[in-house]
Chain A
Amino acid sequence: MVAETGAVLDMPLLRVERASRVYRMGDVEVAALSGADLAIRRGEFLVILGPSGSGKTTLLNVIGGMDRPTSGRVWYGDMELSAMGAVAQTAYRRDSVGFIFQFYNLVPTLTAYENVQVATELVSSPLDPSEALRLVGLADRAGHFPSQLSGGEQQRVAIARALAKRPELLLADEPTGALDLQTARGVLGLLQELNRSQGLTSVLITHNPAIAGIAKRTVRMVSGRIAEIRENKHVIAAKDVTW
């Protein structure tokens, strides 16, 4: 019995098989992704590391239903993302994925609360926006506009927005890229904590090797390929990250 349950748990939530993404610009072809293979387990915290231009964002977009691979296949459970139409893609993004971006991408004309609301109004059983803001420690800033918040606070609103939908998969593209070390530690800690306490499958992109240590598994990308997958012996706490 135990073994069987283990097998179900071990079945990857996401499978990427020989996925390529080629951009055509006039006569020039740029392969942002060329034959990437990857499996992500349910409840995992995965860091994708790689130099600028190595295809990290492209991979994340393909996983998140924001883009389709030119060739190869991508599976989410038993749904094939690579074969989905636009409507199904939208539904997948809406119901399963939470996104966090490097530049937060908050709507400047909406308050923190309303920015979270933009997400919660989409789904059937979301968190209450106030609850989501409380989770990221911003309960008292609900009525503030993005321009009245610091970068770290804005990123925490963005995290609240992603969380509030209760996604199964959290995708973060350089969430600390624009933050100083101290603030970054807070944000990373929050993500680490969410993964630990709620079992939220999380994928985090960074080109900063210092951050890689906070995940159990690190994927290193080089020119559109998965160059190396490493298991970390010692997972470090976000508050100990330094660069």
Chain B
Amino acid sequence: MRALHRKLGRELLGSAGVLLTVIAIIAVGTGCFIGLGSAVRILTLSQQSYYDDYRFADFWISVKKAPLTVVERLRQMDGVAVIEPRIVFDVILDVPDEPQPLTGRLLSTPAERYDQVLNGLCLVRGAAFSDDRDEEVILSEAFAVAHGLNPGDRIGLILNRKRESFIIAGTAISPEYVYMVRGEGDLVPDPKHFGILYVKEHYARDVLDFRDACNQIVGRMTPGADIDVETLLKRMERELDPYGVLATTPRERQASHRFLSDEIAGGRVSSTMIPAIFLSIAALALNVLMSRFAERQRTIIGTLKALGYSDRAVLGHFVGFGVVVGVVGGIAGGGIGIAMAAGMVEMYKGFFQFPTFVYELYPDLLLIGLLISIVFAVAGTAKGVWVVLRLQPAEAMRQKPPERGGASFLERLPWLWRRLGFRTHIALRALVRNRVRTLTGVLSTSLAAGMLLISFVMVDSIWYLVEFQFDRITHSDMDVGMRDESSIDAVWEAQSLPGVDYVEPLLGLPCDLRNGRHTRRLAITGLSPEHRLMTPMRTDFVPIDIPPEGIVMARKLAEILAVDAGDALELVPVRGRREPVRVHVASIVDSFLGLDCYADIGYLSRIVGESAAVNSLQVQVDPVERAALFRAIKNLPNAQGLSVRSDVKANIEGTFVSSMTATFGVIILFAGVIAFGSILNNALVEIGDRIRDISTFRVLGYRPWQVAAIFLRQTLVTYVLGIILAAPISYGLIRLMVQAYDTELFRMPAIITLRSVIVSALLSLLFVLLAQAVVYWQIRKLNWLEGIQVKE
């Protein structure tokens, strides 16, 4: 078959240009498969080995204060493999040269075996604890980097009304904080304002007054235990009940784990969806290309069959095109994939902290990618050739019977049709005649536009939520977290601090809400009657009314608890007097945060049994005296955390901007490849079909752009149809996205702005016009003297 191979080779080279359009689409599809697939694997493996090597816990239980003896009892429970008590304590940090007080979390850890406990530390810089002194910390690496702190430097904090100064022994990371957020409330890590300080266990016990006690218990389950973690946690909760259980957290709900796992899950979906879309379009485009190719080689196919070539042999010959396209596309895709995986690992490094990223090439993924690419290319080719191939050779030798149904419905509207001009007629007839080709163009355009639109909507929606939260709901300049429930006096104390214009108390009351068998643990936010630094809002921007008695809750929560406005519920505070109280639901509101629940602060305090309790102060600040205020807060005895609203917002926005710009660039590029590639492929096939017509027009004296205008019309009609089709496609996808994000925690608004729609449409138009520019160039350089002699 050497002769046919030579034919294949020469014809491949001859149509390299048009094949390249398909190869590009395949390469992107395969690239996404390999790139996203590798990224998912890299994350999964990095996660697994980190969790295994450093013993990531299965559950966390926070208590007010539990004696170590009770921990022993927990250790005896069925299904418990390891259990470790520890002390967690949030404090205000004082970093040299940093005017602003920062939030720190003290975590007790054994001085010797710090790397062998559950959630063991992985030392990054410096050394472990020394025996020289007790005031030593191992600092979380990201925080140290953000502040230029090195082992040997000092860091100060306020402990039990006393300023303490620590020497940084070393820096470390831990599997508990791969994604370093305080808790689920944080969207993105903020290493500048939140750090973890690992302190020696015995020191923490002494200083924090936890002799023979702890306030957090972490554990691991026996592998294969026939008890699930939720049941085990329920049992432990009963056992720990007298000591005030603040929260039980199975691994699935642990903030860092959840963010990481969500990223992996999302990557898994994208790594199949996106390649599937691209490869299908590539197969369609190849089908368009190869059916015309086979059509043009009709007599050659007939002749080969007449010579005695079997159908298999002829099919094999043409499928060779598909194989070459698939192999080239697959190899290019491998390159794209490797680059993409590397890029994603770089991006992940900004979010996730692993000892090492298990970054390697996965030959099997590359191979599977190559195979998939070949399969799609071969399928597209075989489908295109098959129509001609299955003809009897005698049939194949004959001219193709003229297409029927060439007349479009517009032709039945003579008054309109006549106005359109003959070049539009040609364009429209061509579109109607080659339905698959037209459909492929329309589909690609709409997918490109849809891809762009969805990305815009996604960003706008997140932006909207951030602005909603920071510009509509909260109006304070900073929030100071207070230890336990301080008395209302804290407000007066704060009022007298320098630079404070206005203070408002806030009480977050952790409790269980119960309605029969429906129950849910959450924090009710207590607001003062004249609250104005925090105005909870409904999704329609109407401030939520806080009743003097009873609670207001988000619709999602009401659904979880199966309650209506006016119903009564049982409320059990998690701390303090743990006696059930009956409260009634004053109203139910639509809110973006699913577990939103509000009440009057006085009302809540009475439930806890204190006259008026506070655990957070919202402060409005005179900017001139910020520095003085910062100094004062650093010395505020009961403060355990500080967040400055503008910092938090800037951090969230900055993180999104940096991660979105790269992602956006890639999405726009890919959308461009699909629209440009597919439209250009169509047009080049069309030019091949119509060389004689084009040449005739040129002989008649038409200028190249006038001929190209026929193709432009065709492309524009395709584009318009694509944009129309993009509407339902995007709508469906956005609905899917909103549903996917409609979790207990939060609801995604679908913010579709006119600007997003227009920009998506214009960008797609740009891709399509770029393809058109190539078409013009092709027509200009076409040798029409030769073209005129082409026989049909």
Binding site for B on A (CB under 8 A): 57-58, 61, 64, 66-68, 86-87, 90-91, 93-95, 97, 99, 101, 103, 105, 107, 109-110, 114-115, 117-119, 121-123, 161, 165
Contacts and interface: CB of A to CB of B under 8 A. Distances in A.
Contact of A90 (B2, B303, B309): B309
Interface in B518-550: none
A67 B308 contact: no
Contacts of A101: 303, 397
Given A64-B306, A90-B309, 17 more contacts: A66-B393, A67-B392, A67-B395, A68-B392, A86-B311, A93-B306, A95-B308, A97-B308, A101-B303, A103-B299, A105-B303, A109-B7, A110-B3, A110-B10, A117-B2, A118-B7, A122-B307
Given A66-B392, A66-B393, A67-B394, A122 B303 contact: no
A190 B1 CA distance: 28
Nearest to A23: B395
Contact of A91 (B299, B305, B308, B395): B308
Interface residues of B, number: 26
Interface string B290-321: 00000000011011111111110000000000
Nearest to A123: B308
B308 A90 contact: yes
Given A66-B392, A66-B393, A66-B394, A119 B307 contact: yes
B305 A114 contact: no
Nearest to B398: A57
Nearest to B396: A66
Given A64-B306, A114-B3, A109 B11 contact: yes
A119 B397 CA distance: 17
A165 B311 CA distance: 19
Contact of B309 (A61, A67, A95, A122): A122
Contacts of A165: 307-308
B6 interface: yes
Nearest to A171: B306
A123 B308 CA distance: 9
Consensus secondary structure, chain B interface: helix
B308 A94 contact: yes
Contacts of B7: 107, 109-110, 114, 118
A66 B395 CA distance: 9
Interface in B382-436: 392-395, 397
Contact of B310 (A58, A90, A114, A115): A90
Nearest to A64: B306
Contact of A117 (B3, B305, B392, B395): B3
The 5 residue pairs across chains A and B that have the minimum distance between CB atoms? A94-B308, A67-B394, A61-B394, A117-B3, A105-B303
Nearest to A96: B308
A165 B299 CA distance: 20
B14 interface: yes
29 contacts: A64-B306, A66-B392, A66-B394, A66-B397, A67-B393, A67-B394, A86-B311, A87-B310, A91-B308, A93-B306, A93-B307, A93-B393, A94-B307, A97-B308, A99-B303, A105-B299, A105-B397, A109-B11, A110-B3, A110-B6, A110-B7, A114-B7, A117-B2, A118-B7, A121-B1, A121-B4, A122-B307, A122-B309, A165-B307
Contacts of B4: 118, 121
B6 A114 contact: yes
Interface in B351-407: 392-395, 397
A68 B392 CA distance: 9
Nearest to A111: B6
Nearest to A161: B307
Contacts of B311: 86, 90
Given A87-B310, A105-B299, A107-B300, A121 B2 contact: yes
A105 B301 CA distance: 10
A66 B309 CA distance: 12
Contacts of A66: 305-306, 392-394, 397
Contacts of A121: 1-4
Contacts of A103: 299
A82 to B, nearest CB: 14
Contacts of B6: 110, 114
A54 to B, nearest CB: 16
A205 B578 CA distance: 107
A95 B404 CA distance: 39
Contacts of B305: 66, 90, 93
Contacts of A119: 307
A58 B398 CA distance: 11
A91 B308 CA distance: 6
Nearest to B4: A118
Most chain A CB neighbours (cut-off 10 Å) among B2, B303, B395: B303
Contacts of B394: 57-58, 61, 66-67
A34 to B, nearest CB: 17
Contacts of B3: 110, 114-115, 117-118, 121
Contacts of A123: 308
A118 B10 contact: no
A117 B300 CA distance: 15
A36 B306 CA distance: 22
B459 to A, nearest CB: 50
Nearest to B302: A105
B11 A118 contact: no
A234 B300 CA distance: 38
A64 to B, nearest CB: 7
Nearest to B390: A86
Contacts of A114: 3, 6-7
A139 B305 CA distance: 26
A101 B1 CA distance: 22
A148 to B, nearest CB: 14
A61 B11 CA distance: 29
Contacts of A91: 308
Interface string B775-790: 0000000000000000
Contacts of B397: 66, 101, 105
B152 to A, nearest CB: 75
Interface string B4-26: 10110011001000000000000
Given A107-B7, A114-B3, A99 B306 contact: yes
A152 to B, nearest CB: 18
Which of B4, B308, B311, B392 lies at the interface centre, i.e. has the most chain A CB atoms within 10 A of its CB?
Answer: B308
B299 A122 contact: no
A205 B392 CA distance: 20
Nearest to A113: B3
A172 to B, nearest CB: 12
A57 B305 CA distance: 16
A101 B424 CA distance: 39
A100 B471 CA distance: 84
B309 to A, nearest CB: 7
B624 to A, nearest CB: 82
A99 to B, nearest CB: 5
Contacts of B303: 99, 101, 105, 107
A109 B395 CA distance: 23
Nearest to A103: B299
B10 A109 contact: yes
Contacts of A57: 394
Contacts of B302: 105
Nearest to A119: B307
Contacts of B300: 105, 107
A165 B14 CA distance: 29
Given A107-B7, A107-B300, A99 B14 contact: no
Nearest to B1: A121
Interface in B495-515: none
A167 B384 CA distance: 33
Contacts of B392: 66-68
A86 B314 CA distance: 14
Given A67-B394, A105-B303, A109-B7, A93 B308 contact: yes
B308 A122 contact: yes
A66 B396 CA distance: 10
In the complex, which of the residues B2, B299, B306 has the most CB atoms of chain A within 10 Å of its own CB atom?
B306
